[in-house]
Homo-oligomer: A and B are copies of this chain.
Amino acid sequence: MVHDTWVGVDVGGTKVLAVRVSASGEVEASATRPMPGRTASEAAVEDAVVAAAHDVYADGPPTALGISAAGLVDSTGERYLFGAHLPWRDAPVRARIAERAGLAVVLDNDANCAAHAELAVGAARGIDSMVMITIGTGIGGALVLGGRVVRGAHGLAGEFGHMQVVPDGLACECGLSGCWEQYCSGRALERVTRVALGRHLDGPEVAAMASAGDEVARQAFASIGTWLGVGVAGLVSAFDPELVVVGGGVSAVGDLLLEPARAALLESLQGTAHRPVPSLVPARLGPEAGAVGAALLARDAGKL
């Protein structure tokens, strides 16, 4: 007899990552396809999502499919509203993909999915209040209070990446300037490295160099890690969480990112001699957290 499975697909700025999970949340398979790009058609992205999901099907289709998407998803989980890195604009993405895939589908913001995964099977089990930051092409975020993801009045809570951290700062794809993700993200890592070396390296190349001890690459991670800590300090001032969890592809480098972030958090938070400072820890599910969370949301749909 075929066991129940759920598939989660994370749609990010550069790639579409699919995972298949078991009822206990174990990842049984994963696959990656390129994201068609933010100037591609909406249908092209939907094709890529369905194709990536198919890549991880077991003998047959899963019980249900979860979609994790970078950007703004409405509070009903029906529509993708807006995002700097994806072409969808106020699009009924849940229903479209349900029709294409012939499956029950749930849709949520990538960081909300990641937070759900970390709460369910990751670094935040048993935690009541948490800030989750996912660092990929840009920054995603989620707030957890009372052990549940806070969705906000319109489903848009946790959009930390477009908080302004530098007045009249770097132009952002969202149309604003000085957004946090311009200083702390995969794109920021590439920019800092390009300025230092005079040539383009992509994020994984910079990570490999940094892990091998290259000083320029380490300094690039220190730069975005410091900005991570500065931004996290602001969120800690605002929300006072028990824990800060950092996930997303760029976080795979670990302490090369997180140590500068911890130092900057301490330096940028008011009254640290007089208040507890939350731990800043890596997401246990790593870069797959969004996809795993989407699959677990599909599993838990109706139960929540």
Interface residues of A (CB under 8 A from B): 72, 81-84, 89-90, 128-129, 141, 143, 145, 150-160, 162-167, 174-176, 179, 230, 233-235, 237-242, 268-271, 273-276, 278
Contact = CB atoms under 8 A, between A and B. Distances in A.
B278 A159 contact: no
B165 A275 contact: no
A80 to B, nearest CB: 10
B233 A160 contact: no
A274 B128 contact: no
Contact of A234 (B81, B155, B163): B163
Contacts of A242: 153
A274 B165 contact: no
B240 A238 contact: no
A177 to B, nearest CB: 9
A239 B90 CA distance: 20
Which of A72, A154, A233, A234 has the most CB atoms of chain B within a 10 A radius of its CB? A234
Contacts of A150: 145, 239
A72 B238 contact: no
A239 B154 CA distance: 10
Contact of A275 (B81, B84, B166, B274): B81
24 contacts: A82-B270, A82-B271, A90-B274, A128-B153, A141-B238, A145-B150, A152-B240, A154-B240, A156-B275, A157-B239, A158-B238, A159-B238, A159-B240, A160-B238, A162-B269, A164-B230, A164-B234, A164-B268, A165-B165, A166-B166, A166-B167, A174-B271, A176-B268, A238-B239
Nearest to A160: B238
Which of A154, A159, A238 has the most CB atoms of chain B within a 10 A radius of its CB? A238
A222 to B, nearest CB: 15
Given A157-B239, A162-B269, A163-B234, 16 more contacts: A82-B270, A83-B271, A89-B274, A129-B153, A150-B239, A152-B239, A152-B241, A153-B276, A154-B275, A156-B275, A157-B238, A164-B165, A164-B233, A176-B268, A234-B234, A238-B239
A126 to B, nearest CB: 13
B156 A240 contact: yes
A276 B154 contact: yes
Contacts of A141: 238
Contacts of A165: 164-165, 167
A237 B238 CA distance: 12
Contacts of A240: 151-159
Contacts of A174: 270-271
Contacts of A128: 153
B72 A275 contact: yes
Contacts of A163: 233-234, 237-238
A16 to B, nearest CB: 22
